[in-house]
Amino acid sequence: MNSCYRHPDRETGVSCQRCDRYICPDCATPGAVGYLCPEDAKDTIKIRKANFQKSITSLAPVTMVLIGINILVYFIQWLIPPLTDALVYFNVGVDSEYGSALRALTSGFAHDPSQIAHILFNMYSLFVLGTLLEPALGKLKFLLVYFTSMFGGVVAVILFTPFGYGVYGASGAIFGLMGSYLVMLRSIRADTRQMLLIVGINVFLSFLPGIAWTAHFGGLAVGAAMTALMVFLTNPKFQVLKWAGMSFIVAFLASFFY
């Protein structure tokens, strides 16, 4: 882990997207992609064309891989319809293959082959949020937020939905990224009104018929909680508390599977 160039006592994984210097939440300003240091944020000089030649793939490779896996699984489901039933998680108890940890994982990459709008919306959201969060959090922490949010959505289904309820789709993880980005904005004291509106609209849509609203809420809560521990406990003296908090969340989610 690196230290902020302006506050050496603060640990951070965020770097300026123009100069690559590491910056803590207090020094970071949201840019078009990622975050800017105070000097580059105030710079009014146009960025040279060469600075735009860095591809999205190089900025957020993990996000691109996740999108690719989701799309690949979708097309395989479309070609082999029975596969969907083999991927979906059913709330029937962890002692059943239909309610296993493996199903909780595979269900997060499966979508309804008959509803292309579902995967298109999820992948667009993943692209937007991933290209913002992955450079800011770093690849490993981004993956940690993504997958804990995915499992957080499944655990919420276990706790708050009827026995036998099935769930699939990347929405739990996507809502986790929404919660994560909202926390990131709060950590740098940025305006969160637009993001709150987006989250609010998606929360409202979660209550439409046929949508697993509990999975959305579970993912949102876990994504926000994990990111809060990452970005608010950056001081070295809080490292034990930070890792203990994240370990507790992971252990809590894992306790529902065996």
φ, ψ of residue 39 to 5 degrees: the values are -65, -45
Size (the chain), residues:
258
How many other C-beta atoms can be found within 10 angstroms of the C-beta atom of residue 143? 16
Per the annotation, the verdict on 118 as an active-site residue is no
In this structure, the number of other CB atoms found within 10 A of the CB of residue 56 comes to 13
Fill in the amino acid letter for 156.
A
237: which 2 tokens? Answer: 């003296």
Residue 109 and residue 70 in contact, taking contact as beta carbons nearer than 8 Å = yes
Long-range CB contacts for residues 5-10, cutoff 8 Å, separation at least 24: 5/37, 6/37, 6/38, 9/235, 9/236, 10/234, 10/235
Q: Which of 125, 171, 180, 187 is catalytic?
A: 171
DSSP string covering 73-100: HHHHHHHSTTHHHHH-EESS-TTSGGGS
| Active site annotation includes 111 | no
Question: Long-range contacts made by residues 41-45, C-beta under 8 angstroms, separation at least 24?
Answer: 43/18
Three-state DSSP class for 173? helix
What residues are labeled active site? Answer: 171, 216
